[in-house]
């Protein structure tokens, strides 16, 4: 191969890197969202897979694309005005019954069983009652930390090399 041909090949590859980087990030985001959705639907979180909302945003700057995956859910507002976010319970758990060990990232964020404001029942090993929006007593065992976003990040880490090889390979 001549030097001029090698230079042209390198320039062609350089010119394709921005598109490949964007594709790489989008592929990883798709893998992450799919892993998170599968985790929610397979771990018995009631209607979580229907009430969870995932979004993916991308930002491209200086030729690099970064992606962010977010999960949200409809917040529940108690009569006393306190807000409970189901997606945080799915990720970090609520109550000790299902959560003898929590999400490994909970401490970094100050979340997990026992961190809901004014909680009083986490140390108890069984169940507790709370009042719903109609004032009816509801028996609860808490919410198991199914960790959809933690699972998404683990899956992305496990697949990153394979996706990089797939996207950045030269023809």
Q: Tell me the pTM.
A: 0.75
Q: Which residues contact 113 (CB under 8 A, 6 or more apart)?
A: 92, 93, 94, 95, 96, 99, 102, 122, 142, 145
Determine the Cα–Cα distance for residues 71 and 52; give it in Å rounded to an integer: 7
Determine the Cα–Cα distance for residues 34 and 13; give it in Å rounded to an integer: 30
pLDDT per residue as tens digits for the range 37-88: 888 887 665 555 567 889 999 998 887 889 999 998 888 777 777 787 888 8
Which residues constitute the domain of residue 11? Answer: 3-168
Task: Using alpha carbons, list the distances in angstroms from residue 100 to 44, 88, 112, 143.
Answer: 18, 17, 11, 12
**Tally of domains in the chain:** 1
pLDDT per residue as tens digits for the range 97-151: 666 666 677 667 666 665 555 565 555 566 766 666 677 877 777 777 788 999 9
E strand or H helix at 159: helix 148-168
């Amino acid at each position: 191969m001549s030097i001029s041909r090698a230079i042209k090949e390198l320039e062609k590859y350089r010119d394709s890197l921005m598109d490949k980087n964007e594709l790489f990030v989008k592929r990883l985001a798709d893998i992450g969202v799919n892993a998170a959705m599968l985790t929610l639907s397979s771990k018995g979180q009631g209607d979580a897979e229907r009430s969870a909302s995932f979004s993916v945003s991308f930002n491209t700057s200086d030729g690099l694309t970064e992606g962010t995956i977010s999960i949200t859910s409809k917040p529940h507002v108690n009569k006393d005005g306190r807000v409970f976010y189901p997606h945080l319970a799915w990720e970090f758990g609520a109550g000790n019954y299902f959560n003898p060990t929590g999400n490994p990232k909970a401490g970094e964020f100050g979340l997990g069983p026992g961190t809901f404001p004014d909680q009083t029942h986490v140390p108890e090993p069984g169940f507790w009652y709370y009042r719903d929006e109609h004032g009816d007593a509801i028996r609860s065992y808490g919410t198991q930390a199914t960790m959809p976003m933690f699972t998404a990040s683990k899956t992305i880490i496990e697949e990153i090399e394979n996706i990089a090889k797939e996207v950045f390979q030269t023809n």
